C-alpha cells in the first residue's frame, strides 16, 4: 500500500490505484478467463488478506492462481523471497515491480499488494484492492464453486457499501492514521476517531451476528483483517492502546467467530503479520525487533455468537479444506 504523511503530521493514504477491471464482458480489455490471471498477495497485508479470504470463500482457486510475496519488502517492491530462487514460479519474476513496469515502464507510485497480473503478457492489470473483491463476487460468478456464498447480494449492496465505507475510513485506515501520525495532536484526534468507530461497531454487533443481514458479507471480510492484526500489531506498534481487541467483548467474540469460520483464521499468518509491520516500518520501530507476544491460543476459545442466530454462508456452504500449497505454515496460526 502507498501512503505519505502531509503537513500537520496527519496520515494520508495514496488512493490513486490502477483501476482497470477484469470483467465478464471484458470492457476494459481484460475478460474473466480461467488460468489467465495470477493474484499476487502477501499474507501480512490486511488489504491482500481480504482477497485471499474472498477467493477461498467463493472457490476461485481453480480459475485464478495465487502467488505469495514474503512478509517484508524494501523501499521499492514486494519480492518473492518465499519461492525457490526468489522467483515467482508462474510469472518468473523476482519482484512484483517487474509486472508493474511491464505495463507502465515509468510507474511512479508504490508497488502494492494485492495485484492481479495477466500471465500471458506479464503485465499488472489492477491493484485496486476494494474493487478486486467486489469483482470476484459479481464478475467471476461463472467460476464460483457450488455453494459459494453471496458476499455482495444485490439487495444489501447499498448498506454493505455504507458500512464498508465507514470501516475503511475509520478503522482499516484509522489504525494507520494513529500509527503514522507526525504530531501529538494529529495522533490524539486519530485515536479518538478510531475508538469512536470501534464503539459504534460494538453496538451494531451486540445483537446481530454479522454486520449486514444474517450472513457473512464483504463488510465482514473488510473488518476482520484489521481486527486480526489489532492485538499483535496495532495496539502497540500503532499506539492504538485504549484497549486490546481481547478487552472489547463484542468485537472480540465477533472476531473469534469469524476466525473459526473456514476461510478466515486459516488464511491468517500471525508470524508474517508481525514481521511485516515491525521490520518494514523502521521509522516507527528502528530496532527491527519483533515482539514475541501476544499469546494467540485464545483465538480458538468459544465465542458464543451462535446464540444470535444467523447463517454464516447464507444458502451456501463452507469452503473445503485449504489447498496444501496455500496453507498458512505450521506454527504461524493460532493453533
Known binding site for glutathione: residues? 78
Active-site position among 17, 100, 143, 176: 176
Which residue has cell 475508538? 195
Q: Which residues are annotated as a binding site?
A: 78
Active-site position among 30, 37, 45, 234: 45
CA distances to 131, 136, 317, 321 from 145, rounded to whole Å, are: 20, 12, 10, 13
- Measured CA to CA, the distance from residue 325 to residue 175 in angstroms comes to 32
- Measured CA to CA, the distance from residue 215 to residue 225 in angstroms comes to 17
CA neighbours closer than 13 Å in the CB half-sphere of residue 53: 32
Active site residue 176: yes
Active site residue 4: no
Q: Which residues are catalytic?
A: 45, 176
Amino acid at each position: 500500500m502507498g501512503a505519505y504523511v502531509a503537513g500537520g503530521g496527519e496520515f494520508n493514504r495514496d488512493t490513486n490505484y490502477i483501476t482497470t477491471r477484469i470483467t465478464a464482458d471484458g470492457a476494459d480489455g481484460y475478460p474473466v478467463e480461467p488460468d489467465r490471471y495470477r493474484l499476487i498477495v502477501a499474507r501480512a497485508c490486511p488489504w491482500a488478506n481480504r482477497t485471499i479470504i474472498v477467493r477461498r470463500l467463493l472457490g476461485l482457486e481453480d480459475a485464478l492462481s495465487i502467488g505469495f510475496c514474503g512478509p517484508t519488502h524494501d523501499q521499492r517492491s514486494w519480492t518473492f523471497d518465499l519461492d525457490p530462487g526468489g522467483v515467482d514460479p508462474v510469472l518468473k519474476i523476482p519482484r512484483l515491480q517487474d509486472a508493474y513496469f511491464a505495463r507502465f515502464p515509468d510507474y511512479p507510485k508504490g508497488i502494492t499488494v494485492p495485484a492481479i497480473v495477466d500471465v500471458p503478457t506479464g503485465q499488472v492489470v489492477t491493484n485496486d484492492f476494494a474493487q478486486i473483491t467486489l469483482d470476484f463476487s459479481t464478475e467471476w460468478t461463472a467460476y464460483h464453486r457450488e455453494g459459494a456464498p453471496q458476499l455482495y447480494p444485490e439487495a444489501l449492496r447499498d448498506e454493505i457499501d455504507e458500512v464498508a465505507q465507514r470501516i475503511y475510513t475509520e478503522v482499516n485506515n484509522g489504525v494507520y492514521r494513529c500509527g503514522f501520525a507526525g504530531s501529538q495532536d494529529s495522533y490524539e484526534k486519530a485515536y479518538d476517531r478510531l475508538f469512536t468507530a470501534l464503539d459504534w461497531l460494538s453496538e451494531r454487533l451486540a445483537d446481530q451476528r454479522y454486520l449486514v443481514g444474517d450472513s457473512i458479507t464483504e463488510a465482514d471480510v473488510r473488518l476482520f483483517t484489521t481486527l486480526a492484526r489489532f492485538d499483535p500489531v496495532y495496539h502497540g506498534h500503532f499506539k492504538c492502546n485504549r484497549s486490546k481487541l481481547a478487552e472489547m467483548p463484542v468485537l472480540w467474540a465477533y472476531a473469534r467467530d469469524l476466525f473459526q469460520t473456514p476461510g478466515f483464521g486459516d488464511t491468517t499468518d500471525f508470524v508474517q503479520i508481525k514481521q511485516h509491520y515491525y521490520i518494514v516500518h523502521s521509522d516507527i520501530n528502528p530496532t527491527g525487533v519483533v515482539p514475541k507476544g501476544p499469546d494467540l491460543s485464545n483465538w480458538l476459545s468459544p465465542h458464543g455468537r451462535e446464540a444470535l442466530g444467523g447463517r454464516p454462508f447464507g444458502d451456501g456452504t463452507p469452503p473445503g479444506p485449504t489447498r496444501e500449497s496455500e496453507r498458512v505454515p505450521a506454527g504461524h496460526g493460532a493453533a
